[in-house]
Chains A and B, each alone.
Chain A
Amino acid sequence: MKDVCIVGMGTTEFGVLDEGIKELGITAVARALRSCDVDREDVDALYLGNFVAGMLEGQETLAPLVADSVGLVGVPTMKTEGACASSGIAFRQAYQAIRTGVHDVVVVAGVERMTNAETPEFTRALGSAADHDTDGATGLTFPGFYGLVLNRYMHEYGATREQVAAVSVKNRRNGVSNPRARFRSPVTVEDVVDSRLVADPLRLYDCCPAADGGAAVVLASADVAQSFTNAPIPVLGSGHATGRSAAYRYDDLTTLEATSLAAEEAYGEAGISPSEVDVVELHDCFSAAEIGDSEDLGFFEKGEGAAAVAEGRTAVDGELPINPSGGLLAKGHPVGATGIGQVYEVCLQLLGEHENQVEGAEVGVAHNLGGSGAVSTVTVLGGPSHV
C-alpha cells in the first residue's frame, strides 16, 4: 500500500454566488492545480462529488465537463453521490486508487449550487436523500430528522436547549474571521432559542444555511508528492461506512453509527486514538448534529457532548477545537462541496495558516455525513512533519 498526500488545494467562497455549477467546479479545480507544481499532464484522474445539480440546475455529467474545461484531457472521471457526504466519498475513492497503485495523482473536487432554488424545491431536492417510501412519505425533512434526534437526545441525557444553542454561538463566532464563510456575524444563545421553530426542537439558528461553492484538492502518492510541493499533508487514515437508511431503522437515534464505524476505520489505519486529535472539522449541518458527531467520533462520552460545548471545551482555544472554520453553520453547506471544504480547512490548520489557528495542530480530522446518517467518511490528516 502506498502512502498518500494532499499536495494542492483550492476553494471558492461559500455563499450566495453568481457562477453556475460547472464554473464553481472549474474555479476550485483550477485554483488547486495552481497551488502546486502539478502539470495537467501529471493528473491521472478527476473525481467529483455533487448531490443535486441534476435536480436544481439540470446539469449532469459534471466530472468530465469540469475536467475538459480545465484542460485535463482524456483522463478517467466520475461523479460520486452520497448526499452531504458526496465529496467525502470522492476523496475516499481517490485515496484508495492511489493507495493501491492504480493512479499516482488524482484531483478531487466537490461542488454544489443551491441558493438559486425556491425553498420548497430546495427542501424537496435535499429530501431526496431520505428514503422515499418510509421517512420521505411522512414528510420528514432533514431538519425534521435532526429534530427527532435532538428530541430523543434531550430526553435521554437531559441536555438543555441553551447547551445545544452554544454550538451555533461558537460556530458563528468562529465564522466571523473566516473569509470563506457565508455568515460572518455572531449570534447569542438568546438569538438561537428565540429564533423561529423549523422542526421542533430545532430552530432557525440551529440550521446551517444553504450555500453555493466549490472546493478541490490534489492527491498524490508520497513517492512523488515532494516534487509537487514542499509541504505535503499526509493522509494518515481514511474511513467510509454505511449507516441506517431511515429514522425508524435506528435502535438508538442519538448514535449515527456510520460515523463511529468510519472513525474506527480511519483511526485504526492512522494508528491513533481520538485523544490524539488536535483539531476537527465535523458535520454540523444542525447544532444537534455537532453534539452527536463529537460523541460518535469518540471525543466525548455519550451524553456529554452538549455540556462540553457549553463549557467552551470545543472553542478554538479549548482542549479540542471543533469547527474553528465556523463549520457548516457559519460557512454554509453547499452539500456536494462540504466534504472537501472541511479537508481544505483542516489542511490550513496543519500548515499553520488558518485564520482561527489552533496552536500546534499536528493531527486533524475531517468528518462528512450524508442522508439520515446513511453514509459517512472520516479522514485523518497529519502536519507536513508526518510525511
Chain B
Amino acid sequence: MSESPPSFPAQRCADCGLRYGHGAHVCRQCGSEAFEDAPLSGEGTVYARTTIRIPGSDQQGEEPFEVAVVDVGGAESVRVTARIEENPGLGPDDPVEFVERRNGVFYFRAV
C-alpha cells in the first residue's frame, strides 16, 4: 500500500481562476491581485531534468543536485521548476511525487 503524496500548494486567481504553481503577485491573465489556495494532487511528471555539478555561491557544497521542470496536479496540472531528491536517473515523462516545500523550493521524488 503506497500512501498518496501530500497535496501540492497551488493557488488560483480569485477573479479569473488561472492556476499558479509558483506564486504570483498579479495575475498575468486578468491583472487581479487576489489569489486563493487551490491545492492539487501531489502526483507529477518530469518534463525536463538536469544535474547541477557547478553551482553558484548560494548552493556551494550541495552539488551534484537535480533540478527539473515538473508538471504536478494531474488533469489540472501546473508546471514548476523544482528539485528532485536523489534520483539522478530520472528523465522526461518519469512519474514523481511532491515531498514538501522547503525555503521556497518545491522538492519531488521518484515514485
Contact = CB atoms under 8 A, between A and B. Distances in A.
Nearest to B51: A200
Interface in B15-47: 21-22, 47
A196 B55 CA distance: 14
A143 B57 CA distance: 15
B12 interface: no
A152 B60 CA distance: 26
Interface of B: 21-22, 47-60, 62, 65, 67-69, 79-83, 88, 91-93, 103-105
A148 B67 contact: yes
> Could you tell me the dominant secondary structure of chain A's interface residues?
helix
Contacts of A249: 79
Given A137-B104, A138-B83, A148-B49, A199 B69 contact: no
B48 A133 contact: no
A139 B81 contact: no
Interface in A117-169: 119-121, 123-124, 126-127, 133-135, 137-141, 143-144, 147-149, 151-152, 155-156
Nearest to B104: A137
B22 A200 contact: no
B103 A137 contact: yes
Contacts of B57: 120-121, 123-124
A144 B22 contact: no
A152 B51 CA distance: 13
Given A133-B22, A144-B67, A155-B92, A120 B60 contact: yes
A141 B56 contact: yes
A127 B56 contact: yes
Lowest 3 A-B CB distances belong to which pairs?
Answer: A147-B50, A139-B59, A120-B57
A197 B59 CA distance: 17
A202 to B, nearest CB: 8
A248 B22 contact: yes
A155 B93 CA distance: 9
A247 interface: yes
A199 B83 contact: no
Given A124-B56, A198-B54, A151 B48 contact: yes
Contact of A141 (B52, B68, B79, B91): B52
- Most A CB within 10 A of own CB, among B53, B56, B59, B83: B56
A148 B83 CA distance: 13
12 contacts: A120-B60, A123-B54, A127-B56, A138-B67, A138-B83, A139-B83, A141-B56, A149-B48, A151-B92, A246-B81, A247-B48, A247-B69
A287 to B, nearest CB: 14
Contacts of B22: 133-134, 246, 248
A138 B51 contact: no
Interface residues of A, number: 37
B49 A139 contact: no
A144 B50 contact: yes
B49 to A, nearest CB: 6
Contacts of B91: 151, 155
A144 B47 contact: no
Given A124-B57, A143-B54, A144-B52, A138 B21 contact: no
Contact of A199 (B52, B88, B93, B104): B52
B25 to A, nearest CB: 10
Contacts of A126: 56
A122 to B, nearest CB: 9
Given A133-B22, A133-B104, A148 B48 contact: yes
Nearest to A200: B51
A6 interface: no
A200 B1 CA distance: 34
B49 A151 contact: yes
Nearest to B71: A248
Nearest to A125: B56
Contacts of A155: 48, 91-93
A248 B65 contact: no
Contacts of B83: 138-139
Contacts of A316: none
Contacts of A138: 67, 81-83, 105
A123 B55 contact: yes
A263 interface: no
B60 A199 contact: no
B49 A140 contact: no
A380 to B, nearest CB: 31
Contacts of A124: 56-58
